[in-house]
């Protein structure tokens, strides 16, 4: 059976360095890559910048606790989240799940239980397109999820982090209109609402890198006055 943790990027959020090190050691033993954040604000930035495959989020943190972090995270990302808490009572579990957590784990926990729950969450939440390391759009364009790059006419194309985040969200929502505000929230953050110029500029950059004819795009389609959508390649 394929190990769903292999080469996956997991963001661990906890204000205790020893807990982060404990989780890192056990996840890396399973072949995962690990990023870390010590506060809720750091976690929100890390999700936007690194697009992790899952987040392990501690509830008890200063300033921005796990619940508020999750609430803000769900405004722009559907990344799977497992919440950690020393209080595993029903009321707290329900609160986390209602805010969009995918699972709950009470401290202390065994490495085996953590790995098992994380694998289960990744299996049931992974979109079909993300399960392939190389996603073929057509003969001219493929997406390399692992290396976070586009492959245009069999040649890898280097994308800047913002360009990659933009492409990632467009492809994950292929066939569906993404409004300017939706794109801004997912790529830049909800505080950028209304900054449509950012979207137009980076759509131009991205088209120049992946479109055969940027002036007449066939992948990133404009819905005038509304936003953009990536061509629904799955219907071909």
Q: How far is CA 73 from the centre of its chain?
A: 10
In a shared domain, residues 143 and 120: no
The residue from 106, 126, 146 where one domain ends is 126
Residue pair 3/29 in contact by the 8 Å Cβ criterion: no
Residue 4 lies in a domain: no
Confidence of residue 22 (pLDDT cuts 50, 70, 90): very high
The residue from 84, 109, 126 where one domain ends is 126
In a shared domain, residues 107 and 135: no
Domain that holds residue 202: 130-235
In a shared domain, residues 122 and 165: no
In a shared domain, residues 109 and 171: no
In a shared domain, residues 174 and 67: no
Q: Please tell me the distance from the alpha carbon of residue 30 to that of residue 192, in angstroms, as a whole number.
A: 37
In this prediction, residue 37 carries a pLDDT of 96
Which whole number is the average pLDDT over 161-187? 91
pTM: 0.74
In a shared domain, residues 69 and 40: yes
**What are residue 77's phi and psi, to 5 degrees?**
-150, 145
In a shared domain, residues 110 and 46: yes
Q: Count the domains in the chain.
A: 2
pLDDT of 185 higher than 70: yes
Whole-Å CA distances, 215 to 210, 211, 221: 12, 9, 11
pLDDT tens column, 26-83: 999 999 999 999 999 999 999 998 999 999 999 998 889 999 999 999 888 889 999 9
Largest separation between any pair of C-alpha atoms in the chain: 57
In a shared domain, residues 213 and 154: yes
Q: Please tell me the distance from the alpha carbon of residue 183 to that of residue 165, in angstroms, as a whole number.
A: 10
pLDDT tens column, 114-146: 999 899 888 876 655 455 688 999 999 999 988
Residue pair 161/49 in contact by the 8 Å Cβ criterion: yes
Residue pair 176/167 in contact by the 8 Å Cβ criterion: no
In a shared domain, residues 117 and 23: yes
In this prediction, residue 86 carries a pLDDT of 77
In a shared domain, residues 97 and 52: yes
Residue 95 lies in a domain: yes
In a shared domain, residues 122 and 203: no
Q: Please provide the average confidence, as pLDDT, over all residues in the chain.
A: 88
pLDDT tens column, 90-99: 677 777 778 8
Least-confidence region, from 86-90, 103-107, 172-176: 86-90
In this prediction, residue 52 carries a pLDDT of 94
Least-confidence region, from 12-21, 30-39, 83-92, 220-229: 83-92
Q: Please tell me the distance from the alpha carbon of residue 106 to that of residue 88, in angstroms, as a whole number.
A: 5
The residue from 91, 126, 161 where one domain ends is 126
């Amino acid at each position: 059976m394929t190990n769903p943790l292999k080469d996956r990027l997991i963001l661990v959020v906890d204000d205790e360095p020893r807990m982060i090190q404990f989780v890192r050691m056990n996840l890396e033993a399973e072949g995962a890559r690990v990023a870390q954040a010590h506060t809720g604000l750091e976690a929100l930035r890390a999700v936007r910048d690194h697009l992790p495959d899952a987040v392990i989020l501690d509830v008890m943190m200063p300033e921005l606790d796990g619940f508020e972090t999750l609430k803000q995270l769900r405004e722009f990302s559907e990344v799977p989240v497992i919440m950690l808490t020393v209080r595993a009572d029903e009321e707290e579990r329900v609160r986390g799940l209602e805010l969009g957590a995918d699972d709950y784990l009470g401290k202390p926990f065994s490495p085996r239980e953590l790995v098992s729950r994380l694998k289960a969450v990744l299996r049931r939440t992974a979109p079909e397109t993300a399960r392939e390391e190389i996603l073929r759009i057509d003969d001219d364009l493929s997406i390399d999820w692992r290396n976070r790059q586009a492959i245009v006419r069999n040649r890898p194309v280097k994308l800047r982090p913002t360009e990659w985040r933009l492409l990632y969200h467009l492809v994950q929502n292929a066939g569906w209109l993404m409004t300017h505000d939706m794109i801004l929230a997912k790529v830049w953050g909800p505080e950028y609402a209304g900054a449509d110029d950012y979207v137009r500029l980076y759509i131009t950059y991205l088209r120049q890198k992946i479109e055969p004819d940027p002036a007449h795009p066939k992948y990133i389609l404009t819905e005038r006055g509304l936003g953009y959508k990536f061509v629904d390649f799955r219907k071909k």
